[in-house]
Amino acid sequence: MATHANDHYFVPNPVLYPAILSSGVLTMALGFILNVNEKMAAHGLGKWLMIAGLLVICYMTFRWLSSVVDESLTGKYKAWEDKSFRIGMITFICSEIAFFAAFFGALFFMRIIAVPELAEIDPDYTMYKEFTSAWPSLGPGGMSMSADGLKEYVQPANFQAMKPWGLPAINTALLLASGVTITWAHWGLLKNNRKQLIAGLFLTVALGIAFLICQGIEYHHAYTEMGLTLGAGAYGGTFFMLTGFHGFHVTLGTIMLIVILLRSMKGHFTAEHHFGFEGVAWYWHFVDVVWLGLFVFVYIL
Amino acid sequence: MSATTTAHHDEHHDVPKGMMRWFTTTNHKDIGTMYLTFSLIMFLIGGAMILLVRAELFEPGLQLMKPEFYNQLIGVHALVMIFAALMPAATGFANWMLPLQLGAPDMALPRLNNWGFWLLPPAAVLLTIPFTLALFGIGDGAIATGWTFYAPLSVQGGIGVDFAIFAVHILGISSVMGSINVIVTIFNMRAPGMTLMKMPMFAWGWLITAFLLVATIPVLAGAVTMLLTDRHFGTHFFDAAGGGDPILFQHLFWFFGHPEVYILLLPVWGFMPQILQTFSRKPMYGYKAQVYSLIAIGALAVVVWAHHFFTVGMPVPALLYFMYSTMAISLPLAVLFFCWIATIWKGSMSFETPMLFAVGWIILFGIGGLTGLVLADVAADAQYHHTYFVVAHFHYTLFAGGIMGIMAGVYYWLPKMTGHMYNETLGKTHFWLTAISFNLTFIPQFFVGLAGMPRRIPDYALQFAEFNAISTVAAFVLGLSQLVMVYNIYSSVRGGKKATNEVWDGNNSLAGSGGLEWTLPSPPPYHSFTEQPVIK
Amino acid sequence: MVQSTFKRLALGLSLLFVSMFAYADYTWNFPKPVTPVAKDTLHVHNFFMVIVMVIFVVVLLIMIYSIFMHRKSRNYQASSFTGPSTKSQLIWTLVPFAILLYIDFILMGIPAYNSIVMMEDTKQNATMVVKITGSQWKWQYEYMSGEAKGIKFVSNLTTPIAQIEKNSTVPKNVDYLLEVDNKLVLPVGEKVRVLLTATDVIHNWWVPAFGVSRDAIPGFLHETWLNIEEQGVYKGQCKELCGKGHGYMPAVVEAVSKEEYKVWVAAKQEEMKKAESGADREWAKDELMSNGKVVYEKSCAVCHQVTGAGMPPMFPPLTGSKIATGPIFGADGKYLPDSHLDRVFNGKGAMPPWKGSLNDIDIASVITYERNALGNATGDLLQPAQVKAAR
Ligand code: HEA
Ligand code: HEA
Ligand code: CUA
Ligand SMILES: [Cu+2]
């Protein structure tokens, strides 16, 4: 740090984006709440509020990031600022890991504690005579609760667990390959080989999109043929929430990749100065690693 | 230390005026001020809610409200106090003081900082608007499950739960953004020569808080997301019928919830030794021991969560583990207590308002902590659990340990922030009124709790009547006393005796070990350190 | 009003001062314990309280000494030490730490360990099993073994609304909010294994004198145990927030001698037999209506109100309700979905299912009552036999 003593740290001008962004967040939240509550008077409004909020969020994020790109291009960021972004990005990824940890925790808890406990209630008094502890589990059945009241929980009759060695294995290969291609692109950037950079990024984006398509097919298959739905007991819930949030992160990652692909094509980034690229690459690796966890704990085991 | 300049950055010739200044600001002091103001307003709102509750509890029988409304008030009181009063206050101090203490020009990520703040008002709106909507016949009011959201009550609950879920999401984003900023600022913006082990204690407290936030807030976000899907999208996370478990929710919630209580206090544990050393004119005792204790508390914080639900019927090994690990937290805290007392020991103490609060704080927080220790005993906890004994415990930690700690900080730094001394007599009056009425409010609650009064009930058996009456009257005195502070802050912002750079004469004798903030004028220039001082 | 307030305050304040001295008095501390667990708990609690009070007082005295001696106004000159400087000082700072380790894990740790082991020993030598089911907002008790096997009843709060409501002028009973219609009756000196579950949300069955508090979790079966050593009536409350009636869900147990218990069991069984045979006979409208009124006010009025006006939007009015005035049975003789009987049998949302907790007579009479009172007048009757057949 001694080197910074005479530097000026870049403090951006006052901006209105964050406050507008927050109002977008509020609008979207209100819309969502209305949308999921059928009993609300203004129920129909919810959808529109959500769309409006989302648009505000997207637009403001875009404006915000554009100004960051501008500042970056006009040389406002030096090594000092760059380090801030790096530490910030790492911390942010840590918080994302913690978010996934909650869902992995739920999976382990249900699988190792809740389902066996339900199956092993004192046989003299158990309410679930036939229920045995096995994974995947749909639970012992019975009435279940939602905000709309008690509902009979009808277990899907033709339920099957997702097999790992079909599409999921292909998806694993896709993501692992994308990890390689993005590193290859990075090497290109470091060597100032723009072609390699762009080709690598392009491949990564393509692999990301291919992954999402495969996941779409997998979901469709699960819903239409396997009786595997969000409501399919402990297994269905954890399966879709984990893979779904992962898929959502892949989507975000792919969009980010597309952005840096476009920026690379416009000639942004230099071998010395390319935090934008690296931040996205780190994010992508994180998404990759989460998938490996999913593949092992959700699909294989 | 090198001199500082007040010259404006060239980027900054166009600071907007009026309201726009506050909406758009990227300046750490402006943002800090907004956080602190927001916190004060929400403290009054949260307090006003609980005064309604206390009025209801004044005597047996339903006097003012229906039980459903009562349940909404207590939950929102807690959420407002914790998330919208105490946490923003600590973040406000971080914004104001970290750059000053570390010798930085500003927080590391100023725009993010602005966003972190501007997420709070929407969250506050989401928390409180269901009350208003219910007045117009929309929905059935705010969340009525207490602040803990326990499923399946929260699955069954009305639209207020959805509002609270999103409020928590937004508060969570805000906290994570704030934490990222703090972590980056501490790691990257320290003055040259200021090693981690030379950092002011406040920065240490906040650093650990920030790590805890990053590790646990997302888990809470995950938990309420599962709640949302259980409510509306047919999942079975908290539903035995599908193989889920209501206890899963409690695990997830308290995995966040227990660290949260240290998140609230770590910043206070950070700046309190600084206050103690200023007013005892003697450098703080055991800097290293304190740092290691703070780290140990941070580490232990995430492994003891299940002591909040000993009564659900856990296996014996789990009970034992969570009991002993919880007890272990008393060790690093004992080290901290030891260091605080050794700091004032053989000092040359004077008792201005911040010091009164600081000393009172040690004693009252001690009561909170020690009662926490007995709560950790599983067998006795069967009796304490969910009674007013627990309520008293956590007000001794949250109000005395948290809010009164923050108040010490407010009086300590207010002259630095506003450039004017506050009215000392009013400050002392505020302290004595607060300390006495606080004790009168919550000591009786220990007794009703032991005698068997459950918490979260709008109406109670006759044997608890006397104590509740005292508690209610004292709570109103406590509430009114806070207006003294509000007035005092207001008049210090408006004017008053000019404050010197060091503000407190105790800081002179410490010769710099008090923190870099005292080297700047009061109030500090718009850009704190345009040139970083060099620490030898 | 004002005067009584002041009286209460004065009394309270003086009690507060007395409390400083009357340490072991049971109104200041846990209620008098009557089970081994509760005795142990009280003992551990007192012991721990003494420990933490000693710590507190020691710390406080040191601070007070320092505050008075080391002040600027007395011209005390500040020293400048910031840590132990010699080896022996270092050792001296470690001594308190060692003492605390000892306190935490030996002095407090070992008794705490023993209590846990005792508390969790639910099965060994248990001579009877009782199942407790929490529902919003009442407890249902079922005897699962021994002579009383099959006995099953619901226990509701009996404090009249007139005593609870706003500006009530009715004097409150001594047992205000702690009184129920059917107490759980248990013999003294028997180890009772208690199974706990719930039908809707989490409740917590707690009787302070027993030192026992365990969550009743929907879909799960958790357990605890009691061995009451003294006869008497013991009162407790639901301790887990369970909705608006959480404060109105007392758990009351009557502990009787073994002989009295036998007598009680026999009487209860007789009563149940009567009820069963009663279901087969034809009931007159008046009979149904008068029994229905009792059941309604006991079980339904919390939500639907005594007048039937409900509390919209959460709790619908029954007066003029389509369901409560519409047809019950379809052409095939089965009850219709969303009919009056269906709703009462199976519940919906916050409306609890009553199939398991009310008997045929009660369901028949409450439905009849709702259809012919509360401003409704359908004129039709529902016979207990019909309910029995519909189950
Ligand atoms: C800032 C807030 C804060 C803090 C710091 C603490 C600190 C502690 N708390 Fe507290 N607690 C809460 C806020 C807090 N708590 C809240 C909000 C709840 C209720 C939540 C809800 O249900 O709504 C709660 C509930 C709660 C429970 C659950 C009770 C129940 O519901 O049944 C337990 C049980 O173990 C507990 C234990 C502890 C312990 C062991 C500490 C320790 O950290 C205390 C350590 C401190 C000391 C021990 C004192 C200082 C030390 C000395 C003076 C040295 C000598 C001491 C010895 C070694 C003996 N707390
Ligand atoms: C930081 C946290 C915090 C703080 C500061 C407080 C402050 C106070 N709390 Fe809070 N409380 C909690 C956190 C906190 N509480 C939590 C976590 C719960 C558990 C909730 C649950 O069960 O889920 C709880 C629950 C709780 C209960 C239990 C309710 C129940 O279980 O039924 C009670 C009862 O007495 C209570 C009382 C008080 C009182 C009297 C204060 C006082 O200290 C407040 C003093 C301040 C004021 C009174 C403000 C003064 C302002 C005015 C007088 C002017 C008003 C003007 C305007 C609005 C413009 N609290
Ligand atoms: Cu049942 Cu609270
Ligand atoms: Cu805790």
Residues B139-168: pLDDT tens digits? Answer: 788 999 999 999 899 998 888 999 999 999
User: Is A118 near chain B, with CB under 8 Å?
Assistant: yes
**Mutate-to-test residue for ligand 2 from B38, B41, B45, B50, highest number of ligand atoms within 8 A of CB:** B50
What per-residue confidence (pLDDT) applies to B318? 94
User: Chain C residues with CB inside 8 Å of A122's CB?
Assistant: 195, 221, 223
- The pLDDT tens digits for A15-61 are 888 999 999 999 999 999 999 887 777 778 889 999 999 999 999 99
| Residue A236 pLDDT class (50, 70, 90 cuts) | very high
Nearest CA-CA partner of B87 in B308, B268, B358: B268
Ligand nearest the Cα atom of residue B377 = 1
Instruction: Please check the confidence at residue B264 and state whether its pLDDT lies above 80.
Output: yes
Reading the block at residue C184, the tokens are 């759980």
Segment among A105-114, A150-159, A165-174, C236-245 with least mean pLDDT: A150-159
- The pLDDT tens digits for C286-335 are 888 888 888 888 888 878 888 888 877 678 888 888 888 888 888 787 88
| Residue B434 pLDDT class (50, 70, 90 cuts) | very high
Instruction: Tell me the range of B13-22, B182-191, C102-111 where mean pLDDT is highest.
Output: B182-191
Q: Are strands C250-256 and C184-187 parallel, antiparallel or unpaired?
A: parallel
Is B244 touching ligand 1 by the criterion CB < 6 Å?
no
Distance CA C262, CA C187 (A): 9
User: Is A41 near chain C, with CB under 8 Å?
Assistant: no
Does B245 sit within 8 Å of C78, measured CB to CB? no
Instruction: Please check the confidence at residue B7 and state whether its pLDDT lies above 50.
Output: no
Beta bridge partners of B387: B454
Is B456 touching ligand 2 by the criterion CB < 6 Å?
yes
Q: Which of B62, B153, B377 lies at the smallest CB-CB distance from C241?
A: B153
Does B235 sit within 8 Å of A18, measured CB to CB? no
Distance CA A135, CA A132 (A): 10
Distance CA C177, CA C250 (A): 7
Q: Give the three-state DSSP class for B349.
A: strand
Nearest CA-CA partner of B117 in B86, B88, B81: B88
Taking the CA of residue C149 and the nearest CA in chain A, the distance in Å comes to: 13
Instruction: Tell me the range of B209-218, C87-96, C372-381 where mean pLDDT is highest.
Output: B209-218
- The pLDDT tens digits for A128-162 are 888 888 888 898 888 788 777 777 788 888 888 88
Instruction: Please check the confidence at residue C11 and state whether its pLDDT lies above 70.
Output: no
Q: Give the three-state DSSP class for B345.
A: coil
Segment among A223-232, B112-121, B303-312, B473-482 with least mean pLDDT: A223-232
Both ends of chain B: CA-CA distance in Å? Answer: 8
Reading the block at residue C265, the tokens are 């069991």
Does B288 sit within 8 Å of C100, measured CB to CB? no
Mention every residue, 6+ apart, whose C-beta is less than 8 A from residue A51.
A31
Instruction: Please check the confidence at residue B513 and state whether its pLDDT lies above 70.
Output: no
Distance CA B125, CA A22 (A): 12
**Mutate-to-test residue for ligand 2 from B82, B391, B406, B467, highest number of ligand atoms within 8 A of CB:** B391
Atom number of ligand 1 nearest to Cα B338:
54
- The pLDDT tens digits for B117-145 are 999 999 999 999 998 888 887 778 899 99
Angle at B375 between CA B371 and CA B379, to 5 degrees: 140
Cβ atoms of B279 and B504 closer than 8 Å = yes
Reading the block at residue C74, the tokens are 């007395």
CA Rg value for chain A:
24
User: Is A114 near chain B, with CB under 8 Å?
Assistant: yes
* Mean pLDDT of all residues in C205-209: 94
Ligand 3, atom 1: closest residue by C-alpha: C203
Instruction: Please check the confidence at residue B83 and state whether its pLDDT lies above 80.
Output: yes
Give me the phi and psi of B202, to 5 degrees please. Answer: -60, -40
Q: Give ligand 3 pocket residues (Cβ under 6 A).
A: C 134, 137, 203, 238, 240-242, 246, 249
Q: Which of A6, A12, A140 lies at the smallest CB-CB distance from B111?
A: A12
What per-residue confidence (pLDDT) applies to C3? 52
Does B337 sit within 8 Å of C76, measured CB to CB? no
Exposed (0-12), middle (13-18) or buried (19+): which is B5, by Cβ within 10 Å?
Answer: exposed
Return the percentage of chain A with pLDDT > 70, whole number. 97
What per-residue confidence (pLDDT) applies to A298? 92
| Residue C25 pLDDT class (50, 70, 90 cuts) | very low
Give me the phi and psi of B20, to 5 degrees please. Answer: -60, -30
Instruction: Please check the confidence at residue C357 and state whether its pLDDT lies above 50.
Output: yes
Distance CA B104, CA B98 (A): 8
Average pLDDT, chain B: 91
Distance CA B202, CA B215 (A): 20
User: Chain A residues with CB inside 8 Å of C219's CB?
Assistant: 118, 127, 140, 142
- The pLDDT tens digits for C178-191 are 999 899 999 999 99
Ligand 2, atom 37: closest residue by C-alpha: B50
Segment among B329-333, B473-477, C277-281 with least mean pLDDT: C277-281
Element (H, E) at B42: helix B28-56
Instruction: Count CB atoms within 10 A of the CB of residue B523.
Output: 14
**Alpha helices by DSSP H, A74-193:** 79-108, 115-119, 167-190
Nearest CA-CA partner of B261 in B164, B398, B356, B127: B398
User: Is B239 near chain C, with CB under 8 Å?
Assistant: yes
Instruction: Please check the confidence at residue C6 and state whether its pLDDT lies above 60.
Output: no
Reading the block at residue C313, the tokens are 């939007």
Strands (E), chain C: 128-135, 138-143, 152-155, 184-187, 192-198, 203-207, 212-216, 222-226, 232-238, 250-256
Angle at A279 between CA A277 and CA A285, to 5 degrees: 100
Distance CA B218, CA A4 (A): 34
Count of alpha carbons within 13 angstroms of residue C63, beta-carbon side:
21
Does B252 sit within 8 Å of A102, measured CB to CB? yes
**DSSP assignment of B255-294:** HHHHHHHHHHHHHHHHHHHHHHHHHHTSPPS-HHHHHHHH
What per-residue confidence (pLDDT) applies to A258? 96
Spacing of C-alpha A252 from chain mean position: 7
| Residue C74 pLDDT class (50, 70, 90 cuts) | confident
CA Rg value for chain B:
23
Distance CA B488, CA C276 (A): 74
What per-residue confidence (pLDDT) applies to A290? 96
- The pLDDT tens digits for B435-486 are 999 999 999 999 999 999 999 999 999 989 999 999 999 999 999 999 999 9
Cβ atoms of C189 and C227 closer than 8 Å = yes
Mutation site for C-interface testing, chosen from A117, A125, A128 by largest number of C Cβ within 10 Å:
A125
Ligand 2, atom 40: closest residue by C-alpha: B475
Is B332 touching ligand 2 by the criterion CB < 6 Å?
no
Strand order through the sheet with C203-207 = C184-187, C250-256, C232-238, C203-207, C212-216
- The pLDDT tens digits for A89-101 are 999 999 999 999 9
Is B75 touching ligand 1 by the criterion CB < 6 Å?
no
Instruction: Please check the confidence at residue B319 and state whether its pLDDT lies above 50.
Output: yes
pLDDT: which is higher, C27 or B365? B365
Q: Report the neighbours of B using a cutoff of 3 or more CB pairs below 8 angstroms.
A: A, C
Cβ atoms of A24 and A60 closer than 8 Å = yes
Instruction: Please check the confidence at residue C12 and state whether its pLDDT lies above 60.
Output: no
Ligand 2, atom 36: closest residue by C-alpha: B50
Is B395 touching ligand 1 by the criterion CB < 6 Å?
no
Ligand 2, atom 53: closest residue by C-alpha: B479
Atom number of ligand 1 nearest to Cα B384:
32
User: Is A118 near chain C, with CB under 8 Å?
Assistant: yes
CA Rg value for chain C:
29
Distance C311 CA to ligand 2 centre (A): 28
Average pLDDT, chain C: 85
Cβ atoms of B358 and B279 closer than 8 Å = yes
User: Chain B residues with CB inside 8 Å of A14's CB?
Assistant: 14-16, 20-21, 24-27
Distance CA B467, CA B230 (A): 41
Ligand nearest the Cα atom of residue B430 = 2
Does A149 sit within 8 Å of C221, measured CB to CB? no
What per-residue confidence (pLDDT) applies to B6? 32
Ligand 1, atom 11: closest residue by C-alpha: B394
Taking the CA of residue C139 and the nearest CA in chain B, the distance in Å comes to: 17
Give me the phi and psi of C140, to 5 degrees please. Answer: -115, 130
Cβ atoms of B69 and B141 closer than 8 Å = yes
Ligand 2, atom 50: closest residue by C-alpha: B479
Ligand 1, atom 10: closest residue by C-alpha: B372
| Residue C24 pLDDT class (50, 70, 90 cuts) | very low
Distance B373 CA to ligand 1 centre (A): 6
Instruction: Please check the confidence at residue A1 and state whether its pLDDT lies above 80.
Output: no
Reading the block at residue B475, the tokens are 């709570």
Nearest CA-CA partner of A284 in A182, A190, A216, A168: A182
Distance C244 CA to ligand 3 centre (A): 9
Cβ atoms of C130 and C186 closer than 8 Å = yes
Tell me if the bond preceding B121 is cis, omega within 30° of 0.
no
Ligand 1, atom 28: closest residue by C-alpha: B308
**Mutate-to-test residue for ligand 2 from B77, B153, B442, B483, highest number of ligand atoms within 8 A of CB:** B77
Instruction: Count CB atoms within 10 A of the CB of residue A108.
Output: 12
User: Is C107 near chain B, with CB under 8 Å?
Assistant: no
| Residue A4 pLDDT class (50, 70, 90 cuts) | very low
Atom number of ligand 3 nearest to Cα B454:
2
* Mean pLDDT of all residues in B280-287: 89
Q: Are strands A149-153 and C184-187 parallel, antiparallel or unpaired?
A: unpaired
Q: Give the three-state DSSP class for C188.
A: coil
Mention every residue, 6+ apart, whose C-beta is less than 8 A from residue C50.
none
Distances from the Cα of C308 to the Cα of B295, B453, C320, C324, C376, angstroms: 60, 32, 9, 11, 9
User: Chain A residues with CB inside 8 Å of B122's CB?
Assistant: 22-23, 25-26, 29
Q: Which of C31, C56, C113 lies at the smallest CB-CB distance from B451?
A: C31
ipTM at complex level = 0.90
Instruction: Please check the confidence at residue C355 and state whether its pLDDT lies above 90.
Output: no
Cβ atoms of B466 and C8 closer than 8 Å = yes
Site of tokens 């949308």 = A35
User: Is B19 near chain C, with CB under 8 Å?
Assistant: no
Mention every residue, 6+ apart, whose C-beta is less than 8 A from residue B10.
none
What per-residue confidence (pLDDT) applies to A173? 95
